[in-house]
Amino acid sequence: GQSLEQPSEVTAVEGAIVQINCTYQTSGFYGLSWYQQHDGGAPTFLSYNALDGLEETGRFSSFLSRSDSYGYLLLQELQMKDSASYFCAVSSGGYNKLIFGAGTRLAVHP
Amino acid sequence: GAGVSQSPSNKVTEKGKDVELRCDPISGHTALYWYRQSLGQGLEFLIYFQGNSAPDKSGLPSDRFSAERTGGSVSTLTIQRTQQEDSAVYLCASSSGQGASYGYTFGSGTRLTVV
């Protein structure tokens, strides 16, 4: 089967940097994705890593280490609007199938 | 359409009744997915369609759940004889068929409450 672990809650202040970690156990791994979901909203796609290393997209970066079955999402210059839940997800058991973690709730304070 | 459309947005039903949830994916997206999200929880995979066929329905919780897709477009998730544990937000997503790398686009979901 598959399992993903990520912290349930993270708190940070505006302007700071926060890292949300994700470890996974799965077979047939294809890649690691990150999604953001505001309360009451739909999940939105942030990033996808298939290869080891860091991918940067504006204030957000995502990292993957396949050998360690580990990845993280890095959010820089935090803004109040970044308060949301962040989910890591693995593509496994089929290229098109995403299995999601339980999510990390990020609270950004002034 | 411009996004993934789901209807109804909210549904309250009595225990034992059948419900149908509809998903209209982005035009041209060949892959369609159904997920379920309970309050404060992660997304639970239910079923995946590629075109009109469902290569992976391993997440359907019981035989009360079924789904179909017609014309490579609209999908319907049917829950028969609803139970209180079926209460959740049912999310539909579509993608261009290039796998997870291009990201899934999710609809706003149907909030199902079984009373």
For the segment B16-67, what is each residue's pLDDT rounded down to a tens digit? 999 999 999 999 999 999 999 998 888 999 999 988 998 888 899 999 999 9
- Say if the Cβ atoms of A91 and B55 lie within 8 Å: no
Give percent above pLDDT 90 in chain B. Answer: 77
- Say if the Cβ atoms of B108 and A41 lie within 8 Å: yes
Name the phi and psi angles at B30, rounded to 5: -85, -25
Facing residues of B93 across strands? B33, B106
- Say if the Cβ atoms of B45 and A98 lie within 8 Å: yes
CA distance A86 to chain B (A): 10
Q: What distance lies between CA B22 and its chain's CA centroid?
A: 7
Residues of B in contact with A43 (CB under 8 A): 43, 91, 93, 104, 106
Number of neighbouring beta carbons within 10 Å of residue A63: 20
Confidence of residue B69 (pLDDT cuts 50, 70, 90): very high
State the best of A32, A45, A95 to mutate against chain B, taking most chain B CBs within 10 Å: A45
- Say if the Cβ atoms of A97 and B48 lie within 8 Å: yes
d(CA B76, CA B21): 6
The encoded tokens of residue A54 equal: 């860091």
The encoded tokens of residue B83 equal: 């139970």
User: What is the average pLDDT score of chain A?
Assistant: 93
Nearest to A43 among B41, B43, B56 (CB): B43
- Say if the Cβ atoms of B45 and A31 lie within 8 Å: no
Work out the average pLDDT over B89-111: 90
pLDDT at B1 over 60: no
- Say if the Cβ atoms of A96 and B31 lie within 8 Å: yes
Which stretches in chain A have pLDDT values below 50?
A: none
The encoded tokens of residue B44 equal: 């639970």
A and B: number of Cβ contacts within 8 A: 66
d(CA A94, CA B101): 13
Class of residue A19 by CB neighbours under 10 A (exposed 0-12, middle 13-18, buried 19+): middle
d(CA A93, CA B40): 25
Total residue length of chain A: 110
Query: Three-class SS of residue A65?
Result: strand
d(CA A66, CA B54): 29
pLDDT of residue A93: 63
